[in-house]
Chain A
Amino acid sequence: MTSTLPPPERAGLKRPRISARTLRTDRWWTPPLWTVLGLTAFLVYGLVRVLQQDHYWVADYGYLTPFYSPCLSASCAPGSAHLGTLPWEFPWFLPYALFSLPFLLLFRFTCYYYRKAYYRSFWQAPTACAVREPHGRYTGESRFPMIGQNLHRYFFYAAALIAVINTYDAALALFHGREGGFGIGLGNLILIGNVVLLWVYTLSCHSCRHVFGGRLNSFSGRPVRYWMWTQISRMNSRHMLWAWVTLGTLVIADLYVALVASGTITDPRIYN
């Protein structure tokens, strides 16, 4: 672009030459450290469980772990494939929930909170505020492949769909009582709790907030969308909390199903 303006910064002025990476005196490196540990632990656990291809279904009570929902391999345990299966058996390296897990992973990968979390901790851009980052060059999300972060909303749609399936799984499990028909055990409570929190996390998403009202320039005359936007905004202010809580509940739900399915513990029944 052409210009007739002189450069506004006076020649010769320099930024303060401070060699220290930061002059912060607090323990600024602890939050990213915890993030690395937390996310790594979850990924390792998830990987192990997904490749295990076992202990994901409690036939007696209809408990299906969210890590295997919907179960799509022809080798899925009888009754566990609520939406039917594909005609072939998956090899060891393919997760049974082939269609949902990648989208869930991408939903969280492109999530505005997780982005902050891993950019700071894994990518160190920046490690903490006012701490110099160790990169020579930085372009952020302005070019390929990181520009793909802008697709978050589509993964949100997919995640919402998958949350419907998880909800269906959890509801279905309520009709696997010991005597048949309706019944509730601790496992049901865990699965329902997990699903509820998954919904809170999913609906508190920034893209969701945008779609339901944020994109409007004027709320007047649109009371329903304003109400939805307000509610989503309230949940959204704790998006980070929901992001971590749901990692926890996913692990709890899966671990519980695994322990019951493997016979390590028995499911305490509350009713039937």
Chain B
Amino acid sequence: MSKQVIYGVFDDEEILLNSARALRGKGVRINDVFSPFPIHGLDPVIGIKPTRLSNAAFFYGMFGTSMAILMTWYMMIHDWPMNVGGKPSFSWFENMPAFIPVTFELTVFCAAHGMVLSYLLVNKIYPGRKAHNPDPRSTDDKFIMEIQVAENKKVAQSEIISVLQSTGAIEINQKEL
């Protein structure tokens, strides 16, 4: 099944943002926007929910903390307690001050790497993946709005195009995917 897509190409992010607002006002669903840098204020306009990656990072961090506590307890207190320099290992709490640096480092390690791995996963980016931006100029100086015709049955195609034109799109391309 072929999908009809309209691409509105802009050369300024503020013009694109106003155009997106105008289109949303008419009830047009904007599928995606491709830009060379983040456009602030765009996400709520085109209906993108805030990412939950930072929540994930918090849990990865907590995982790191727990692992570090478990590891120091097991190795230093439970499995093979050592008496180094007259400082015996009786309980985890007594030795805790010495374990804080490693616990901190493992928390940061797990939070950072866990978050970045999740980020690569949910963004579906990895070495060898083919880029799917519609136009190579969108990583340079052009801002491209993608509207799927099939998703916008209520608004006439000609009206979408005329709004794009009147709000400052420098090019309008229609494609069959």
Do A and B pair up? The answer is no
Interface residues of A (CB under 8 A from B): none
